[in-house]
């Protein structure tokens, strides 16, 4: 694999509280990830997301409001996180509120950004159309360039902004960043759980520093290994600490790099210390991998240090399943990275998990399965009205994502969603990967399945107009 021509770049969104940073963040990452509210200071910490701009992939950081001279603990915390985001970023988007006009705080933030020696794009937000352009007049007096008038809520001006960013500072593209013959594994877990020891075991040399001091690995380090004709890229990440334990700027950077490592991985290898069991931090790290839709394998390390009997491993698996209910699909393996016990078996398990992660089912096969499933348990009723499921189709892989077309998505009870997902797993496998299912109301655009297969319920009357509506569940 040739090295990528571009680096993976990061964009930080900064500005005073309530200028629309989280709204812009949600637009860039394509989903409602950040909480948006009219109350200033809703975003206190930093949020990270993955944005596609043209053919390039960027990491976007949403920050709390930036106050040059914060007063109070909350504002001081927001100020500190904003400074760290600027330090982490390659590009900065500075947002102004066009409706509020230019403020003294805006001017002070601009002065601070001029000293950061990073490219800054200045955005006058809440300019919803030509009739609001006059609201931006005061901001031109700053002499800050380039200056864009945008509406994060309605998307006005965002296209021109992103086209210029992509042209001026292209990030790595998906095509550059991935070798189709290479399987990428992010090794994640708390500090000192044995991640570097395991990677060293795989590559057969002490390439990564291994000590008893937690947090030795400060960056995400790649190692490529070959097993026969198969190629694996191991991404050894820095341990992700509890938020209250992260006090140094360097430690915060390592968390960012670990999250970026998950962004470019096919599979997350979640390592747990057998002596400690599943901790709150393990659950949080597992949540990162699950939310990103990665295939996952749970590795219980240091198993050689545990006194065992016939029931020990079974009890540990039960504890893990109880603590990580959302990761019930992930296989569990017990190893010792230090002695090499069962280490090589991990690669076989990962291979199977990624195969299921990329698996695609035909629409005909799925609808035959659905018909049998509905015969086993009929659609539920809601306030006396029956739910009708017309058909199901797989719309995406990595992770497997299914669209179910129904008459009324609001009538889907969570227990029935769970039943359908469990049946998918029971009949088709999908071990090691999350499954995403969303429900869409039948309309003229999705009147019939995309392939030649019969829907499982009668068609609605042609003179009945239905609008799109959907519910999403990831299990």
Q: Where are the domains of the chain?
A: 9-168, 179-357, 363-474
The CA distances from residue 349 to 95, 291, 468, in Å, are: 46, 21, 40
Pairing state between β 221-227 and 267-273 = unpaired
Identify the pLDDT of residue 175.
61
The mean of the pLDDT values for the chain is 80
Identify the pLDDT of residue 259.
73
pLDDT tens digits along 189-199:
888 899 888 98
Alpha helices in 239-362 (DSSP H): 249-263, 280-291, 312-323, 345-357
Do the domains 9-168 and 179-357 sit in the same CATH topology, yes or no?
yes
Residue 377 has pLDDT above 50, yes or no: yes
> Quick count: other Cβ atoms within 10 Å of Cβ 286?
24
CA distance 223 to 227: 13
> Quick count: other Cβ atoms within 10 Å of Cβ 202?
21
Superfamily designation of domain 363-474: K homology (KH) domain (3.30.300.20)
**Greater pLDDT, 233 or 94:** 94
Identify the pLDDT of residue 241.
55
CA distance 326 to 283: 10
pLDDT tens digits along 41-83:
433 345 677 788 988 888 888 887 666 555 544 445 556 666 7
Residue 85 has pLDDT above 70, yes or no: yes
DSSP secondary structure string for all residues of 352-383: HHHHHHT----HHHHHHHHHHHHHHSPPPEET
Identify the pLDDT of residue 224.
80
CATH number for the domain whose boundaries are 179-357: 3.40.50.300
Assign residue 398 a region (left: φ > 0; alpha: ψ between -120 and 50; beta: otherwise). Answer: left
Query: Which phi and psi angles does 229 have, rounded to 5°?
Result: -95, 5
Residue 239 has pLDDT above 90, yes or no: no
Superfamily designation of domain 9-168: P-loop containing nucleotide triphosphate hydrolases (3.40.50.300)
Of the chain, the percentage scoring pLDDT greater than 90 comes to: 44
Q: Could you tell me the pTM of the whole model?
A: 0.60
Identify the pLDDT of residue 383.
66
CA distance 354 to 269: 12
């Amino acid at each position: 694999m040739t090295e990528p021509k571009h680096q993976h770049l990061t964009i930080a969104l900064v500005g005073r509280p309530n200028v629309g940073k989280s709204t812009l963040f949600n637009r860039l990452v394509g989903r409602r990830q950040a909480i948006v509210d009219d109350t200033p200071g809703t975003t206190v910490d930093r949020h990270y997301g993955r944005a596609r701009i043209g053919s390039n992939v960027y990491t976007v950081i949403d920050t709390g409001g930036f106050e040059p001279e914060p007063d109070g603990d909350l504002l001081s915390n927001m100020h500190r996180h904003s400074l760290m985001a600027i330090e982490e970023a390659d590009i900065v988007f500075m947002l102004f509120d066009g409706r509020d006009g230019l403020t003294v705080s805006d001017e002070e933030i601009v002065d601070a950004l001029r000293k950061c020696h990073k490219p800054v794009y200045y955005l006058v937000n809440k300019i919803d159309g030509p009739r609001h352009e006059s609201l931006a007049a005061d901001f031109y007096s700053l002499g800050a360039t380039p200056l864009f008038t945008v509406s994060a809520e309605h998307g006005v001006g965002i296209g021109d902004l992103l086209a210029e960013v992509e042209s001026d500072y292209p990030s790595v593209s998906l095509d550059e960043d991935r070798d189709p013959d290479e399987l990428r594994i992010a090794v994640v877990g708390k500090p000192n759980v044995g991640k570097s020891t395991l990677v060293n075991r795989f590559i057969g040399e002490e390439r990564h520093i291994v000590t008893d001091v937690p947090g030795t690995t400060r960056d995400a380090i790649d190692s490529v290994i070959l097993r026969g004709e198969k190629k694996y890229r191991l991404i050894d990440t820095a341990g992700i600490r509890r938020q209250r334990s992260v006090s140094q700027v360097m430690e915060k950077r390592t968390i960012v790099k670990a999250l970026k490592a998950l962004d470019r991985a096919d599979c997350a290898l979640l390592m747990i210390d057998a002596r400690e069991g599943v901790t709150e931090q393990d659950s949080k790290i597992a949540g990162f991998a699950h939310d990103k839709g990665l295939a996952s394998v749970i590795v219980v390390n240091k198993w050689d240090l545990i006194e065992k009997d016939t029931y020990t491993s079974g009890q540990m698996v039960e504890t893990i399943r109880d603590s990580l209910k959302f990761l019930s699909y992930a296989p569990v393996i017990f190893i010792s990275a230090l002695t090499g016990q069962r280490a090589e078996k991990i690669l076989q398990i990962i291979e199977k998990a990624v195969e299921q992660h990329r698996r695609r089912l035909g629409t005909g096969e799925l609808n035959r399965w659905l018909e049998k499933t509905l015969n086993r348990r009929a659609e539920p009723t809601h306030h006396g009205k029956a739910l009708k499921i017309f058909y199901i189709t797989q719309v995406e892989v990595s992770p497997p994502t299914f669209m179910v077309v129904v008459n009324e998505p609001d009538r889907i009870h969570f227990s029935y969603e769970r039943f359908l997902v469990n049946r998918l797993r029971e009949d088709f496998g999908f071990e090691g990967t999350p499954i995403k299912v969303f429900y869409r109301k039948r309309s003229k655009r999705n009147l019939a399945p995309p392939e030649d297969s019969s829907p499982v319920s009668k068609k609605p009357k042609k003179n009945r107009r239905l609008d799109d509506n959907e519910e999403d569940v990831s299990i």
